[in-house]
Amino acid sequence: MFISENIKKQTNQKPDLKEGEKEIHNWKTLSTNYKQLFSPSNEFSDFQVIVTSPSNNLNYFNCHKCILASRNEYFQGLLRSGMKESIESKVIINGILPSIMEIILEYIYSGSMKISLENALEVLDAAKRFLLDKQIVREINSFISENINSENVCQIMDFAEQKQLNDMQKRCSKFIQKNLKKMCENESILNLSEDLFKKLLNEEIQAIFITEFELFKVIIKWAQKRLNLPFGMEFIDQENSEMIKKEIQDLIHGVRFISMTQEELQQISSLKIIPDEYMVPILQSKQNKQTDSNQNFTDLIKDSKILTPRNYGVKESDILSKNPGWLKFLDHWIKTPGFVSQMKLGYSGVKHGFAIPTFHSKCDNRGQTLVLIETNKNFIFGGFTSVGWVSDPSKWVRYRHPGYIKDSKAFIFSLKKGDKKRTPKRFRVIKKRSVFAIHYNDNILLFGKGGGNADIRLLWNGSILLNYSNFGHTYHLPPDMKVDTVVAQSYLAGEFQWDVKNIEVFFN
């Protein structure tokens, strides 16, 4: 791809012409002439850029201080600072290929560069390192994004992770989530690094359109590739089973074994690569009662590796029973070990009534608390606080208004979007706004600062709830969404003001 800088547009200043005057220019010739100055010869040059190659050979680029300083912020700072490089008229640059440095210097001289899929990642990294203008960085980003495919996405994502290119990581992650089935079939997913593979399994990718058994087989192949073993479960034997078991021990937490059939579980169990504490309870439950499509929530959680027999409160949940898979997300989001596995249903609006005294008696001063809200239009969302709803005014934050409680670990989340599918999402509290994480007094419950700007508000007026969501003031919005817009205000509940069907509150 050929990328060119619009020199005329960059000039920005309008010519100060008088009547009868005309400005005549030839930008193309100017660009060509400048590029000719950057040549192997040292004609008129007064500065050297020296790059060390991978084989430790030195590559010299003859340059001109006036051009480097006038065209590039990085070199301008270097040459105007009185540093030894400006005095010695040379700079040694490490950590970049000579071919990539040449592209950067050619761009500085001519305002254009030619890139390919083979070198675009390195050019992008160098463009950011040497402070090329944002327009060019965007052009390179766009070129890479437009050419992401199942064959190169793992390489791009690994590179983006190493160089902390956050936007590129997000694009790759989104691509993988949408194309995971294809990537598993052609085995390109196996090219992910260990850290990124773990991250992929632990993130919200359960919109992955493959079965849990297929996902497990991919994990096995990934481990076999790392161990230089033949691919496939049929190649697991006594000699390599312990190695594979050790390799996948941190990955199996991302697999929902409960969703597998008894035959699939028996096949996995026979391989002796999954700890007995995982497999035995699930197999016993499957043998006692076959799971079918109409199996109720109580049966499902008996098999769950997240929930325990002590978790009777969750069994009684009307909201979580609509999709037990949400528990996996909650368990991943709430970092406190054992919270989800032991949490109990402390309050249900449907079962206990919506009167505020009842709510206070059951929910005050319970410590870490999870709130689930279901609207009349079947949106399900809520929030988590690590400090709980505190009715003691002495523990409120003395800021502008009483009742606010600081919580840097608080977050809100969305589980269900009416009758449409939605991948569950979590939104952390904005760090500098964490002093407004939650608010609580006699008749109001807030996630975020009030005054019309609460991310979630529940207000009791007798037994009537008056509610709204002005998402994004205290908690992070989804990417590309702006605060105080209709899209943001309707994201959680489908509308700014909404009616409650049920509220459920959980704690240990």
pLDDT at 13 > cutoff 70: no
Task: Identify the CATH assignment for 2-9+24-147 out of 3.30.70.1560, 3.10.28.10, 3.30.10.20, 3.30.710.10.
Answer: 3.30.710.10
If you average pLDDT over residues 380-396, what whole number do you get? 77
Structure-block tokens of residue 479: 């990417």
pLDDT digits (tens, 9 = 90+) for 110-161: 888 889 988 899 999 899 898 888 889 889 988 998 899 888 888 898 888 8
pLDDT at 15 > cutoff 70: no
Query: What is the structure's pLDDT at 488?
Result: 94
Confidence grade of residue 425 (pLDDT, cut at 50, 70, 90)? very high
**Top-confidence range, 363-367, 457-461, 469-473:** 469-473
Query: What is the structure's pLDDT at 3?
Result: 66
pLDDT at 462 > cutoff 80: no
- SS3 assignment for 71-96: HCHHHHHHHHCCCHHHHHCEEEECCC
Alpha-carbon span 160 to 377, nearest angstrom: 40
Query: What is the structure's pLDDT at 191?
Result: 82
- Judging by DSSP bridges, how do beta strands 500-507 and 369-375 pair with one another? antiparallel
pLDDT at 432 > cutoff 50: yes
Closest of 72, 30, 26, 15 to residue 49, by C-alpha: 72
**What is the residue extent of each domain of the chain?**
2-9+24-147, 309-508
If you average pLDDT over residues 392-397, what whole number do you get? 54
pLDDT at 209 > cutoff 80: no
Query: What is the structure's pLDDT at 109?
Result: 85
Confidence grade of residue 295 (pLDDT, cut at 50, 70, 90)? very low
Confidence grade of residue 285 (pLDDT, cut at 50, 70, 90)? low
- Cα–Cα distances in angstroms (integers) from residue 438 to residues 304, 383, 454, in the given order: 31, 10, 9
pLDDT at 218 > cutoff 80: yes
pLDDT at 301 > cutoff 60: no
Asked if 156 and 148 touch (Cβ cutoff 8 Å), the reply is yes
Query: What is the structure's pLDDT at 294?
Result: 38
- Cα–Cα distances in angstroms (integers) from residue 134 to residues 45, 131, 140, 169, in the given order: 28, 8, 10, 18
Confidence grade of residue 484 (pLDDT, cut at 50, 70, 90)? very high
Q: Read off the pTM.
A: 0.50
Confidence grade of residue 167 (pLDDT, cut at 50, 70, 90)? confident
If you average pLDDT over residues 397-406, what whole number do you get? 62
Query: What is the structure's pLDDT at 134?
Result: 87
pLDDT, greater one: 64 or 321? 64
pLDDT at 207 > cutoff 70: no
**Top-confidence range, 53-67, 75-89, 389-403:** 53-67
Q: Is 421 exposed, middle or buried (0-12, 13-18, 19+ CB in 10 A)?
A: exposed
Query: What is the structure's pLDDT at 286?
Result: 62
At 168, which helix (H) or strand (E)? helix 166-185
pLDDT at 308 > cutoff 60: no
pLDDT at 48 > cutoff 80: yes
Q: Is 461 exposed, middle or buried (0-12, 13-18, 19+ CB in 10 A)?
A: exposed
- Percent pLDDT > 70 in the chain is 78
pLDDT, greater one: 181 or 147? 147
**Three-state DSSP state, 494:** coil
pLDDT at 442 > cutoff 70: no
pLDDT at 77 > cutoff 80: yes
Radius of gyration from C-alpha coordinates of the chain: 30
Q: What is the mean pLDDT of the chain?
A: 79
Confidence grade of residue 46 (pLDDT, cut at 50, 70, 90)? confident
pLDDT digits (tens, 9 = 90+) for 235-279: 888 888 889 988 888 777 767 776 788 888 888 888 888 877 767
pLDDT, greater one: 483 or 54? 483
Asked if 247 and 267 touch (Cβ cutoff 8 Å), the reply is no
